[in-house]
Amino acid sequence: MLSIVQTLAKEFDKKEEHVQNVITLLDEGNTVPFIARYRKEMHGTMDDQTIRSLADRLQYLRNLEARKAEVKNSIEGQGKLTEELAAAIDNAATLAEVEDLYRPYKQKRRTRATVAKEKGLEPLAAVLFAQAPDAPVPEEEAQKYIDPEKKVETVEDALQGANDIIAEWVSDDAEIRKHLRALFVQCADVVSSAAKKDPEDTVYRNYYAFRAAVCKVQGHQVLAFNRGEREEVLKVEIDMNREAALNVVKRYVIKKPKCNATAFVETAAEDAYDRLIFPSVEREIRSMLTDSACEGAIGQFALNLKPLLMQPPVKGFVTMGLDPGYRMGCKVAVVDGTGKVLDTTVVYPTYGDRQKQECIAKLGALIKKHKVRHIAIGNGTASRETEQMTVELIASLGHGYGVSYAIVNEAGASVYSASPLAAKEFPEFDVNLRSAVSIARRLQDPLAELVKIDPKSIGVGQYQHDMPEKRLSETLGGVVEDCVNAVGVDVNTASAPLLARVSGLNSGVAGNIVKYREENGSFTSRRQILKVPKLGEKAFEQCAGFLRVPESKNVLDNTAVHPESYGAAQKLLELCGYTEADVRAGGLSELRARMKAYGEAKLAEACGVGLPTLNDVATELMKPGRDPRDELPAPVLRTDVLEIKDLKPGMELKGTVRNVIDFGAFVDIGVHQDGLVHVSQIANRYIRHPSEVVSVGDVVTVWVLDVDEKKNRISLTMRKDKVKAQ
């Protein structure tokens, strides 16, 4: 039997030494971002996602080992643990296999078999189930067990009891269940149908007569018909060829050559399958499909969340945030380049032409007063009308002002604005104005603003409200943590929610950092962070490399170089003929060439670090204070608007990917309604999933395939050959 380390090394195709090091680092309380960034030599440069996956699998395997021990102890306590059974439990690869082996020894609720055993019918069941060549005729043997006092009054009563006992034995057979489960996965179909005879036209209409192989059904289909079933619109079941399944059961149960008891045992086996095994395996298959679909959906949510969080910020510009609305009007907030609120108001562009012109005049005055450069418009209710008004507003200002706008995904803004955090941050504003501030800041620095919102509310997934709460939160929390630490955080300007996502910190310590900063002024070095209450050496080790201190005299304090590597960084500069002044001036353009000339391996040894760490240090020295998001495509800023009626098949457009799901990608092309690029229209080759080609935030070229104004649907393609074919 492989050890946990050996199993993980094989599954992840990594060296056992590296896997063991990761396990040790995790057990010592190190965070995934810290391990991924600052312990590369120990784990062979695994990325944060691989380390998280390894940690998840490690937890599963440890839980599996713990369950095996519990099961063996329980069976041993009954005096029934054999060497063969213990070995089978030890070799089980999944929790399902362990539970199958434990099933015969698990304390059961009162069953038909239990009642039959109480009536003394187990010996009858045993002699018939043995199917010996000289087995008695069941009816004749049953005569011996007639006992009115035990309520066994007839031969039929005795045989029924024996049948129930044998059926439970068959149902409890681990090998039978293992092979049937595999057969169901390979050969069964999942079928959904309308729950009512004359169903209404609902979003579940595609599932009123749906059938797919269990091994081929898509995750989004599983989640859809699961929800339809919960809402009592659909009826879902597993369809398996009964004869094929019974053949598996009988192969394990019926002995050769046949005897007097064979027919009786066959009947009991069929009863076991129909009454006990099939319902149980059907539940298992449904559960397996749901678990797999949820894992896939959570994984896709995480995949979408990362590029959304890592969208390039539009830094340093005064920005106006518009939170559109009908009844309550359009809420407006102007923030400066650091996100500080300069002005707020409410306008009513949807109330009529006069009110729209008043709105344009009022916002134009604010733009001139505060020198606004960008306008961020939330994509919710009344977004289309607000966007149209904004285009007219920009036109009224003239080209000299250089104002542009962007549509911002406002998902979760209302959740944030009603939160205690928002109330604490903006006690003087009502809920609606807080949303406008959040929308403006989302354009300026998406990551810093979105960390204030529960990731589940950001809206880049599918069926997120159907997901296991704990698993979804853990996964999305890990994505946020990885993004925050990949970018780094300015310790002197970051909010408490942003600091709380830094490796090694929690909300309490993050609050203490902000409080210390307010009472003592800006931090002037990384080491000063140790003065913050409840931030000890271990926490400092984990967080220091991810916190930036631009005000520090030491240029390394504003880089991702960890304090433990400062000596190595200074040695590297010395050996390559540079000074810290050169780093500040950005004059290390020849650093890589000098490192190569010196010999990188020799240089790493001289600096006392491994080659991966040396390369990371060099990268930081060449671009101190760099933001990795700046290397990504900038968000699309517009000055004009399209309407759905303007779209024509074949029209070429630039758009931003807003969401990626199993069957395609939704792209914002400047129309109120996002267009769908079906998975078949994303690439000129076969792809299993849209995420192989596109990510949230990508700027892509698309062509219009079809427009349905009545249903507000826009079909797009990223394949130019499909446009030519029309």
Task: Dump pLDDT digits (tens) for 435-492.
Answer: 999 999 999 998 998 888 888 777 666 777 788 888 988 998 999 999 999 999 999 9
Confidence of residue 361 (pLDDT cuts 50, 70, 90): very high
Mean pLDDT of 95-117: 91
- Max CA pair span of the chain: 106
Are the CB atoms for 197 and 175 separated by under 8 Å?
no
Contacts of residue 597, Cβ cutoff 8 Å, sequence gap at least 6? none
Using an 8 Å Cβ cutoff, are 65 and 4 in contact? Answer: yes
Distance between CA atoms of residues 664 and 593, nearest Å? 44
Cα angle 627-633-639, degrees, rounded to a multiple of 5: 120
pLDDT exceeds cutoff 90 at 415: no
Q: Can you give the pLDDT at residue 639?
A: 66
Mean pLDDT of the 523-529 span = 96
Q: Please report the pLDDT score of residue 383 as a whole number.
A: 84
CA-wise closest residue to 85 among 62, 67, 104:
104
**Of 358-372, 444-458, 593-607, minimum mean pLDDT range:** 444-458
Nearest alpha-carbon partner for 413 in 436, 429, 430:
436
State mean pLDDT over 660-676.
85
Whether residue 597 is predicted with pLDDT greater than 80 in this model: the reply is yes
Banded model confidence at residue 418, pLDDT cuts 50, 70, 90 = confident
pLDDT tens, residue by residue, 287-325:
999 999 999 989 888 888 888 888 889 888 999 999 998
User: Which of 496, 499, 512, 456 lies closest to 479, judged by CA?
Assistant: 456
Q: What pLDDT sits at residue 673?
A: 78
- Domains located in the chain, CATH noted: 4-105 (1.10.10.650), 114-188+240-300 (1.10.3500.10), 319-460 (3.30.420.140), 644-724 (2.40.50.140)
- Stretch 50-70: mean pLDDT: 96
CA atoms within 13 A on the CB side of 80: 10
pLDDT-derived band at 211 (thresholds 50, 70, 90) equals: very high
Alpha-carbon span 80 to 144, nearest angstrom:
29
**pTM value > 0.85:** no
Question: For 705, which DSSP code?
Answer: E
Tell me what pLDDT residue 240 has. Answer: 97
Q: Are residues 529 and 513 in contact, defined by beta-carbon separation less than 8 angstroms?
A: yes
Cα torsion through 180, 181, 182, 183, rounded to 10: 50
pLDDT over 80 at 633, yes or no: no
Burial class (CB in 10 A: 0-12, 13-18, 19+), 593: exposed
Cα–Cα dist 592/577, whole Å = 12
pLDDT at 641 over 70: no
- pLDDT tens digits, one per residue of 678-700: 999 999 899 988 989 998 888 88
Q: For all residues of the chain together, what is the average pLDDT?
A: 91
Tens digits of residue pLDDT in 603-621:
999 999 999 999 999 999 9
Question: Does 83 score more than 70 pLDDT?
Answer: yes
